[in-house]
Structure formats: C-alpha cells, structure tokens
C-alpha cells in the first residue's frame, strides 16, 4: 500500500487489509513515495478513524518505497495518480510496472480514481478515505481468498 507520506492513507489501507485477511502466507505492508515523515507514527486522524473501527495502527512507522519492494511484493497498490507516476518511475521493467495498481480500480475498474489526500483537510476527509479503502479491501480479500 503506497501513498505520499505513508502517514495518512496507506497506513489505513495496511491496517484495514490486515484486519480482513488472516492468511499467514500474505505479507501486507505500506510505504510512501516521499521521505518527509520517515519513522513517524501514522497521523493522529488516521489512528483515530482506525480506532473507531476497531483497528490499531499505532505500531506502524513510515518508511519510503524502495526499488526492492518490486521484488518483495506481488501487488503494489497506490492511492492516487501522482503516487502511480512516482512508483512507475522507479520500475525497472514490465514485470515491475504490471505490479502497480490504483487501489480504487478494485471498486471502479479502469476509472483510475484517486483516494484523495486528506492531510490538509479535516476529520471528514479521513472518514471518507476510510470508507473507500474499506470497500476496496473487501474486494481485494475476496480476490485473494475466493472461498472466504
Ligand atoms: P498520505 O498524506 O500521503 O496519505 O500519507 C500526506 C501526508 C503528508 C504529506 C502529504 C500527504 N506531506 O506533504 O507532508
């Protein structure tokens, strides 16, 4: 799960997917394309909306997306088109490029919709981001675990 700062959207996406997917052989992580918040905890507003929904994301620490993530992960979900461009710029080949997907395309295929960056907005932005990611993660879990 990749966003810009790795403190608002992608930590929520990581926490939500982890809460829905209990397969030991699936590794879920998140990272940011920017380095502004490395080693920081998620934004308090992300922590709060996760907590309201029964998810604890306080153990997460921001890190930067690295080229080696292309080797370690099969699917790289990005939150918006700017994250998409930044990650694609780091891709080494077609195999890397094919791993990168806009997360809301799971809900609205081929529409390339952004999960809006809630950083400079208020709490409502975090609530709606949570809802979008929750819906996307439900679909991702069904794809990975078709029999529940
Ligand atoms: P995120 O939100 O990409 O969802 O973690 C942001 C967090 C911090 C900044 C931008 C977006 N920033 O510019 O510091």
Catalytic residue flag (residue 9): yes
pLDDT at 52 over 90: yes
pLDDT at 148 over 70: no
Q: Are 80 and 114 in contact (CB under 8 A)?
A: yes
pLDDT at 27 over 80: yes
Count up the domains in the chain and report the number.
1
Q: What is the CATH number of the domain that holds 75?
A: 3.40.50.2300
Nearest to 13 by CA among 71, 97, 75: 75
Token couple for 11: 């930590």
pTM of the prediction? 0.97
Which among 8, 9, 43, 45 is annotated as catalytic? 9
User: With left for phi above 0 and alpha for psi between -120 and 50, is residue 11 left, alpha or beta?
Assistant: alpha
Summarised one tens digit per residue, pLDDT across range 57-82 is: 999 999 999 999 999 999 999 999 99
Position in ligand 1 atom list of the atom nearest CA 83: 3
Q: Are 82 and 4 in contact (CB under 8 A)?
A: yes
CA 63 from centre of chain: 13
Catalytic residue flag (residue 86): no
Residue 65 belongs to domain spanning: 2-144
């Amino acid at each position: 799960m990749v966003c810009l700062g790795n403190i608002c959207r992608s930590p929520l996406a990581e926490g939500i997917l982890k809460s829905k997917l209990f397969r030991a052989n699936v590794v879920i992580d998140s990272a940011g394309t920017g380095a502004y918040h490395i080693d920081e905890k998620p934004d308090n507003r992300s922590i709060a909306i996760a907590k309201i929904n029964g998810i604890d994301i306080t153990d997460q620490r921001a890190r930067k997306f690295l080229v080696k993530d292309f080797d370690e992960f099969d699917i790289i979900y990005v939150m918006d088109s700017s994250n998409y461009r930044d990650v694609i710029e780091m891709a080494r080949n077609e195999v890397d490029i094919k791993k990168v997907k806009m997360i809301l395309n799971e809900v609205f295929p081929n529409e390339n919709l952004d999960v809006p960056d809630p950083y400079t907005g208020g709490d409502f932005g975090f609530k709606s981001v949570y809802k979008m990611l929750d819906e996307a993660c439900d679909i991702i879990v069904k794809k990975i675990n078709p029999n529940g």
